[in-house]
Amino acid sequence: MTATGQPVAPEKTDERLLRTSPLRRLLGRPELGSVVGAVAVFLFFAVVADNFLQMSSFGTVLYAASTIGIMAAPVALLMIGGEFDLSAGVMVTSSALISSMFSYQMTANVWVGVFVSLLVTLCFGAFNGFMLTRTKLPSFIITLGTFLMLTGLNLGFTKLISGTVSTKAIGDMEGFDSARKVFASHLTIGDIELKVTILWWVVIVAVATWILLRTRFGNWIFAVGGEADAARAVGVPVIRTKVGLYLGVAFAAWVSGQHLLFSYDVVQSGEGVGNELTYIIAAVIGGCLITGGYGSAIGSAVGAIIFGMTSKGIVYAEWNPDWFKFFLGAMLLLATLLNAWVRKRAEATK
């Protein structure tokens, strides 16, 4: 695209200070493509799946999206910072296991277990961050190690302490009911059932967006993801930023883990494997680049919505489940392609 026929700005003004029109600014947002993708997926299932437009189905889809979205937002921030976390999926299970087993074994108020779990889960995140910045190994390798270690710890400790592969029920213990209200309650409005995870999700995405766009730390995230060495040279605390990002993922893993525990009362030690990829996919659909330095938290939420709509829409549409993963993969590719195409168009009009 050449800018012929467009008025050239006077040479005295710096091009970085040019006022752009609000529409231009909207078109330049990383999440725009994913919004278009989400609308497309929504319309598609509205046509092919009978029950997709029911109120009760909305609740189900939103819940599915929220369980992914809570994790996808901090994972998106981490990816903008140029790193991966493959341990995010099992960390959720670890966090739930720690709460449950600590409360049960110590016969403590459930809230004690919940806070111990928060501390330990944050330690996992800190471990990821410090190992990464100390060893200079790629985060892919570091967190792959953490992922395998946590998977083993989940099973090993659960068998050692509870004697079986799942935890003991803690539903009759003090504090369980109030903790359930916080992490796993739901609100029924007419036909639609809204789980509390949706609220957590909205809050986490809002905070992540504020950090990214309105704080110094947010600028650091973009800087370390774009070019870590240059960032360090201009005085960005690279180590602190990356450790902070891993702590963010750990915090979200704790929230998701507590949700698992308090909705089901018993935690299976072998779950969570593979979910880390789901979070990464949601972030990527939402406009994060795999290479870092670009993306948004709102985009990760839209990515989670696309994922939720697709995985549930396929069931509402009564398609043969044997093909489920194929459709899911195809849908995700299409959504991401559309996303990339919209972004290219948006950048061309700049």
Partner 1 sequence: MARVRTGVRAMGAVLAAVLGASLMGCSSTGGKRAEERAAEEAAEGRSAVNTPRWTFAMVTHSGDGDTFWDIVQKGAEQAALKDNINFLYSHNDEAQQQAELVQTAIDKGVDGLIVSLAKPDAMKAVVAKATEAGIPVITVNSGSAESKSFGALTHIGQDEAIAGEAVGDELDKRGRKKALCVLHEQGNVGHEQRCGGAKESFDGTMQNLYVDGTNMPDVQASIEAKLDADKSIDAVVTLGAPFAAAAVKAKETAGSKAEIDTFDLNASVATGLQNKTLGFAVDQQPYLQGYEAVDLLWLYRYNRNVLGGGLPVLTGPQIITADDADELAEYTKRGTR
Under the rule (CB under 8 A), what is the footprint of partner 1?
A: 50-51, 54, 56-57, 60, 63-64, 67, 155, 164-166, 169, 260, 263-266, 268-272, 275, 312, 315-316, 318, 321, 324-325
Alpha carbon distance 36, 335 (integer Å): 8
Residue type, 160: L
Alpha carbon distance 232, 246 (integer Å): 19
Between residues 128 and 275, which has the closer beta carbon with respect to partner 1? 275
CB of 123 to partner 1, least distance (A): 24
Between residues 97 and 285, which has the closer beta carbon with respect to partner 1? 97
Residue ranges in the chain assigned as alpha helix (H): 22-27, 32-48, 55-80, 88-106, 110-135, 139-162, 176-184, 196-214, 216-226, 228-233, 238-264, 275-285, 297-316, 324-348
CB atoms within 10 A of CB 141: 14
CB of 174 to partner 1, least distance (A): 19
CB of 276 to partner 1, least distance (A): 13
Tokens linked to 75:
């994972």
**Burial group, residue 285, by CB count within 10 angstroms (0-12, 13-18, 19+):** buried
Between residues 201 and 316, which has the closer beta carbon with respect to partner 1? 316
Instruction: Report the half-sphere exposure of 50 (CA within 13 A, side-chain side).
Output: 2
Alpha carbon distance 27, 17 (integer Å): 18
CB of 298 to partner 1, least distance (A): 24
> 3-class SS at 189?
strand
CB of 263 to partner 1, least distance (A): 7
CB of 64 to partner 1, least distance (A): 6
Between residues 65 and 335, which has the closer beta carbon with respect to partner 1? 65
Between residues 51 and 133, which has the closer beta carbon with respect to partner 1? 51
Between residues 139 and 256, which has the closer beta carbon with respect to partner 1? 256
Tokens linked to 253:
């893993």
Alpha carbon distance 308, 280 (integer Å): 14
CB of 325 to partner 1, least distance (A): 7
Alpha carbon distance 285, 302 (integer Å): 8
- Residue 72 is given by DSSP the state H
Between residues 67 and 139, which has the closer beta carbon with respect to partner 1? 67
Between residues 133 and 268, which has the closer beta carbon with respect to partner 1? 268
R_g (Cα) of the chain, nearest Å? 22
CB of 309 to partner 1, least distance (A): 12
CA-to-CA separations, 96 to 85, 266, 281, 334, in angstroms, rounded: 18, 9, 23, 35
